[in-house]
Amino acid sequence: MQVRTVAGPVDPDTLGATLMHEHVLALVPGRFFTGGRYDDAVEAAERALGGLSEHGVGAVVDLTGRTQVGSGPDIAALREISARTGIAIVAGAGLYKEPFPGWVEAAAVDEVADRFVAMAADAGIFGEVGTSLDVVTAAEEKCLRAAVRAHRRTGLGISTHCTLGAMAREQVAIMASEGADLRRVVIGHLDLAPDLPYLEEVLATGVTIAFDTFGKEWFDYQVPGSEGQGGGEFVKWAYHRPDSDRFAALITLLERGYAAQLVLSSDISGREAYLNPDTHGRHGYSFVHAVVLPALRAAGVGADSIQQMLVHNPARILTIP
């Protein structure tokens, strides 16, 4: 029984509080100012993660999905960040969502699964594996099926991306049909669609759902198929989801007894952090512990529920049998 971190396997009991969906090398957004060089990204991550140990955080899951074999998270950089900060980092492996690299279209599901297994040499979870807004494309379904087949071969859990919280039921149905252990599947970003009947329908399948965008109250979304519309090249939505909606849904789910199926995070990445100066911009990766947990405690959420979401659930999902 172990959790595979970028620094090697560790005992699940040593993880402590774990943020289940982050992107620690995304704080240098593109080539602004310095070209986004390796050292800049590592130093930015070291500064940003530096305060987590004060809050008792022991681990962060980096779910930077690959867009092609050989790309994705820089394991050497993640390993250095972990060594500098003392935070265990679990890297994700897999393909994100459309558009995929060209080889995916022609590949059979088992070929994609083989590549997922190869990608996972240094990874501790498959993810984030995603679907598009209000649709699961044929290639996305193929990748979900491949992730499950790789999960069954390796014992790694799975973490998904639901664009704006959509298509969770469809994701679960696909993965269940492939024989996934749904107790070790995280359905991501459902706090972006905090409709209680929808969330409870997903929870009834036995998966864990992620309230993993706390603090991401504003972000831009490029509207699919909008090329050539409007005054620019694309049409964008400026998306708003206040944390008050997340809190209300989360507290109600905890009151209804779902603590064993919930995990927390903030999904911080560079460009979006700049759109949220008072949340991510102020607190960074400490936002869950500095802001979210005090608010939950003030609302009457007990220590056992917080421990379940931040410690026990991540350990269950990340532990390789």
The residue that leads in pLDDT, 66 or 238, is: 238
User: Could you read off the pLDDT of 136-170 as tens digits, one per residue?
Assistant: 999 999 999 999 999 999 999 999 999 999 999 99
Residue 226 predicted with pLDDT over 70: no
Quote the percentage of the chain above a pLDDT of 90.
72
User: Could you read off the pLDDT of 96-137 as tens digits, one per residue?
Assistant: 898 888 889 999 999 999 999 998 999 999 999 999 999 999
The predicted structure's pLDDT at residue 64: 85
The predicted structure's pLDDT at residue 297: 98
The predicted structure's pLDDT at residue 263: 98
User: Could you read off the pLDDT of 8-44 as tens digits, one per residue?
Assistant: 999 999 999 999 999 998 887 665 566 666 568 888 8
* Buried b / exposed e along 11-26 (16+ C-beta atoms within 10 A): ebeebbbbbbbbbbbb
- Closest Cα to residue 59, out of 318, 258, 302? 318
Rounded CA gap, 20 and 102, in Å? 29
List C-alpha distances in Å: 119 to 73, 90, 128, 150: 10, 14, 13, 10
Rounded CA gap, 94 and 158, in Å? 10
- Closest Cα to residue 306, out of 83, 16, 43? 16
Region 2-10: mean pLDDT is 96
Q: What angle in degrees, to the nearest 10, is found between the helix axes of 196-203 and 168-177? A: 10
The predicted structure's pLDDT at residue 69: 45
Rounded CA gap, 294 and 315, in Å? 23
Region 261-275: mean pLDDT is 90
User: Could you read off the pLDDT of 270-307 as tens digits, one per residue?
Assistant: 778 888 989 998 899 999 999 999 999 999 999 999 99
What are the boundaries of each domain within the chain? 3-318
What CATH number labels 3-318? 3.20.20.140
The predicted structure's pLDDT at residue 232: 58
Q: How many CA atoms lie within 13 A of 89 on its CB side?
A: 29
Residue 86 predicted with pLDDT over 80: yes
The predicted structure's pLDDT at residue 34: 65
The predicted structure's pLDDT at residue 181: 98
Rounded CA gap, 220 and 236, in Å? 6
Region 204-221: mean pLDDT is 94
Q: How many CA atoms lie within 13 A of 269 on its CB side?
A: 17
pTM of the model: 0.93
The predicted structure's pLDDT at residue 68: 44
Region 230-237: mean pLDDT is 64
Region 210-233: mean pLDDT is 78
The predicted structure's pLDDT at residue 157: 98
The predicted structure's pLDDT at residue 269: 83
The predicted structure's pLDDT at residue 38: 59
Rounded CA gap, 215 and 164, in Å? 15
Residue 246 predicted with pLDDT over 90: yes
Q: What angle in degrees, to the nearest 10, is found between the helix axes of 75-85 and 38-49? A: 40
Q: What angle do CA 19, 245, 284 make, to 5 degrees?
A: 35
Residue type present at position 274: Y
